[in-house]
Structure 1
């Protein structure tokens, strides 16, 4: 692995057994984010959790000197796929229609801490 392929780990924001993200070369792999507030509790309700989830992604990217425009792939996990359109309403506020990341989504019967959704992203963040 050459110097452009060094691996850098972002420490966890809370007492969790995983890194917030890992940077390999010019790609930042963000761990799944949920609607956790700074005090460690979940935002109240589906829409509030969706918004907080996206804000947590933005905060992680900013910590790396980047932004949502660098995201090229997202994976969305929902505890109830019937709320897909409800999630999309919030999600689309964060990306221009002409610059939507590739995305996969699936329903699950449970997420960490009882969250309604979890979103993980990959972003192109070249070193300056």
Structure 2
């Protein structure tokens, strides 16, 4: 009888240790920019080893205005803003697994892509579409999901 109990207990311990460990921690990161601290969203949220970033536009964070120069300039600044947020939270552009890109005009797709591919040679998954009414009159907005 004792031998059966020991075997059962050992079996239970082995099976229990094989169970997937749950890590449901969420960390909401406020913006590092003083002017965005009262925004009703987080710059980034960390969940289970991933960083989910809020959308970024081609805004110069120093002047709080959109950069001049059209879609290519805004795309470059937008991705530089994403890079800064990722690095602030211990990640980088090469850890991006998914991008969502919103263009004001789908006709800007080719010009946007010229800049985009210089930042993402690993080709993360991506969704791109056009929509009007982007924040602050931007021509582009991008959000990303990255590994921490």
Q: TM-score, normalised by structure 1?
A: 0.89
1:1-128 equivalences in 2 (<5 Å): 4-12=23-31, 13=33, 14-15=35-36, 16-38=39-61, 39-44=63-68, 45-96=70-121, 99-125=122-148
Q: Kindly report structure 1 stretches of 4+ aligned residues shifted beyond 3 Å.
A: none
Whole-angstrom distance in 2 between the partners of 1:82 and 1:37? 24
Greater RCO, 1 or 2 (C-alpha within 8 Å, sep 6+):
1
The Cα of 1:4 is off from its aligned counterpart by 3.3
Q: Which segment drifts farther, 40-49 or 24-33?
A: 40-49
Higher helix share: 2
Superposition RMSD in Å: 1.4
Rg comparison, structure with higher value: 2
Whole-angstrom distance in 2 between the partners of 1:65 and 1:27? 11
Q: How many residues align?
A: 122
The Cα of 1:48 is off from its aligned counterpart by 1.2
Provide the secondary structure at the position in 2 that maps to 1:66: coil
Q: TM-score, normalised by structure 2?
A: 0.78
